[in-house]
Amino acid sequence: MALLVRLLPVALALALGPAAALGGPARSPYQLVLQHSRLRGRQHGPNVCAVQKLIGTNKKYFTNCKQWYQRKICGKSTVISYECCPGYEKVPGEKGCPAALPLSNLYETLGVVGSTTTQLYTDRTEKLRPEMEGPGSFTIFAPSNEAWASLPAEVLDSLVSNVNIELLNALRYHMVNRRVLTDELKHGMALTSMYQNSDIQIHHYPNGIVTVNCARLLKADHHATNGVVHLIDKVISTITNNIQQIIEIEDTFETLRAAVAASGLNTLLEGDGQFTLLAPTNEAFEKIPAETLNRILGDPEALRDLLNNHILKSAMCAEAIVAGMSVETLEGTTLEVGCSGDMLTINGKAIISNKDVLATNGVIHYIDELLIPDSAKTLFELAAESDVSTAVDLFRQAGLGVHLSGKERLTLLAPLNSVFKDGTPTIDARTKNLLLNHMIKDQLASKYLYHGQTLDTLGGKKLRVFVYRNSLCIENSCIAAHDKRGRYGTLFTMDRMLTPPMGTVMDVLKGDNRFSMLVAAIQSAGLTEMLNREGVYTVFAPTNEAFQAMPPGELNKLLGNAKELANILKYHIGDEILVSGGIGALVRLKSLQGDKLEVSSKNNVVNVNKEPVAEVDIMATNGVVYAISSVLQPPAVRPQERGDELADSALEIFRQASAYSRAAQTSVKLAPVYQRLLERMKH
């Protein structure tokens, strides 16, 4: 018994294959999927594999982990069944599939694996059965019975009417003159067949699917005394033409043929390698507006990008697609290739009208819609497929469309449609100038932008770039989606309308009546020069109402002490520019006073020290201003005793403050203070 226990792991490893037994190289994707199916079926006994069967069909798949839980193939529901794993059979009265299939010659093995039609046709030839029963080492990719039955009647008739030439040659093309197991079937390799040394194209995909001339391998590695049998789901035929030759002989590719010749890509498509061409038909070209098509056909670089966007970097047979996957084109973009039942989809659209046309250097799928990459589009065309159509309509209405459809190198800062949910601005000279400042005089890529960089606009402004942990902003507007880089222009999708700076922080404060008391306080504290010169400041600016809301005693004390006033005001000024789009859950911003301000954003509401901000992102050339409705107190400052007298130094502040108004005089809280102030100002 102890010896048996020690031998069990070795026996299991041998059952899984020589690589597992000997600690060899990594297993192939097919073997990994088979192993997963074996693990899912082990509760039903030894050597039982779980397979997924498409409901309503005979199509079966060994299951990987993702498919096991989704229970779908190409969006269609599956049922799980349990069968003997390849190479094993049931024993009456025993659980599972404990017995290895008896080893026999290739001819007899065909019957064992369910390819009796292949066996029958082999019998009809004079030469092939003796080879399959005799000495040697062969591989046969044997079509299933269903594969033979699905052949068009005229094709099958031509084969069986001339068994010793046509049928023999067809069967020999399914054979290789050596033993080839799945661990040797590599993606993109070619095997030499026994028919005129013609190549058989092998593709072994990461999801475990293996194809032979785009026929799916159903069950593999059935050993025979003189070789190995792999069961496949189609009858395969020889491949004679390369991709370029197929384009040249098919009438439906007349426009594509001319485009390939103009682009110089014919050398690639007739050369070695393995590609997938998503070949647009004449109808696909005809669906494109004539202006767009003529522009692309007349621009060699755009045309080359267009065609490269239809070429995948490796051969992709339809049978390899059992769920959505991302594939890269030669142009560099990513396409989402998927399936819905028997239909292949590109980016979610069922636009493939003919699939798996094989060439010596790849595979062609006919498509009825042109796949125009961003790199071949104008800014107008980019925006038409993005969530910025409202903004682009504004540019058109303002007479700026020429910038978006020409050859000018630009970057368009286009706000999202949601920015205009409450309406769009009236088109006038001011709006036109604002829109001009949403166009940068260069074709940029956001990944190359850096903090502090300045960008020149068509409107004559210089815009600043701010880089934060989780956002990239240009002035008050932050990038909300990935760049769309077109032929000449790049589209940046922005989260709001941009407001270029109109002056220094002091200019902004002086130009807004809400801040008249703050302006007077800044002047009294000697901070005017600082806020007028170059710098990077974030100013939380208390409005007049914020000052008026202070207890008279505290206000009296504050305005009467220039040093303390300067200290309090510096606490309202951060030492860097922080726009609202750069605020995360919480940012601790160092103030010029030394203590830190806690700035947070939640549900589009900005708070500073837990106090809500009344208005955000008032941009200045040397900073940004936030309007706040309370005067912030540094942590070390404690509330003072109330008083009702104003210090002499406060008089000048109130003389300058336009906020000294009838409304202020009638304030119940401040009326006595203002009355005494008036009396002293008369002298």
| Residue 615, Ramachandran bin (φ over 0: left; ψ between -120 and 50: alpha; else beta) | beta
How many CB atoms are located within 10 Å of the residue 503 CB? Answer: 15
- Measure CA 633 to chain center: 46
pTM (2 decimals)? 0.79
Q: What is the pLDDT of residue 429?
A: 95
Position 646 pLDDT exceeds 80? no
- Cα–Cα distance for residue pair 594/588, rounded to 1 Å: 12
In one letter, which amino acid is 321? I
| Strand blocks (E) in 31-120 | 48-54, 60-62, 72-73, 76-84, 88-89, 99-100
Take residue 340 and report the two structure tokens written for it.
Answer: 């819905």
Per residue in 218-272, pLDDT (tens digit) is: 999 999 999 999 999 999 999 999 999 999 999 999 999 999 999 999 999 999 8
Q: What is the pLDDT of residue 21?
A: 40
- Cα–Cα distance for residue pair 309/370, rounded to 1 Å: 10
Question: Which residues on neighbouring strands pair with residue 599, listed in sequence order?
Answer: 587, 608
Q: What is the pLDDT of residue 41?
A: 94
Task: Report strand pairing: 472-474 vs 477-478.
Answer: antiparallel
Q: What is the pLDDT of residue 26?
A: 63
Contact between 486 and 377 under an 8 Å Cβ cutoff? The reply is: yes
Task: Report strand pairing: 334-340 vs 325-328.
Answer: antiparallel
* Predicted confidence band of residue 183 (pLDDT cuts 50, 70, 90): very high
- Cα–Cα distance for residue pair 50/63, rounded to 1 Å: 7
CA distances from 522 to 367, 528, 556, 575, 651 (A): 69, 6, 16, 17, 14
More confident residue, 277 or 63: 277
Q: What is the pLDDT of residue 637?
A: 56
- Helix (H) and strand (E) counts in the chain: 29, 35
Q: What is the pLDDT of residue 25?
A: 55
CA neighbor of 63 nearest in space, from 36, 28, 82, 86: 36
Handedness of CA 88, 90, 91, 97 (dihedral sign): positive
CA neighbor of 463 nearest in space, from 507, 501, 508, 518: 501
Take residue 229 and report the two structure tokens written for it.
Answer: 């049998």
Task: Report strand pairing: 489-494 vs 410-415.
Answer: parallel
Take residue 249 and report the two structure tokens written for it.
Answer: 């002989």
In which element (H, E) is residue 111 found? helix 106-112
The number of C-alpha atoms within 13 Å of 501 and in the hemisphere containing its C-beta is 26
- Cα–Cα distance for residue pair 646/566, rounded to 1 Å: 17
Position 22 pLDDT exceeds 60? no
| Residue 635, Ramachandran bin (φ over 0: left; ψ between -120 and 50: alpha; else beta) | alpha
Per residue in 125-136, pLDDT (tens digit) is: 988 999 999 999
- Cα–Cα distance for residue pair 657/205, rounded to 1 Å: 76
How many CB atoms are located within 10 Å of the residue 329 CB? Answer: 20
Per residue in 432-452, pLDDT (tens digit) is: 999 999 999 999 999 999 999
Per residue in 608-632, pLDDT (tens digit) is: 999 999 999 999 999 999 999 999 9
Sheet holding 60-62, edge to edge: 60-62, 48-54, 76-84, 72-73
* Predicted confidence band of residue 638 (pLDDT cuts 50, 70, 90): very low
* Predicted confidence band of residue 356 (pLDDT cuts 50, 70, 90): very high
In this prediction, residues 394-419 reach a mean pLDDT of 94
Lowest-pLDDT range of 49-53, 391-395, 509-513, 560-564: 560-564
pLDDT, averaged across the chain: 88
Per residue in 580-598, pLDDT (tens digit) is: 999 988 999 999 999 999 9
* Predicted confidence band of residue 401 (pLDDT cuts 50, 70, 90): very high
Position 642 pLDDT exceeds 70? no
In this prediction, residues 548-552 reach a mean pLDDT of 89
Sheet holding 227-232, edge to edge: 175-176, 138-143, 227-232, 215-224, 210-212, 199-204, 190-192
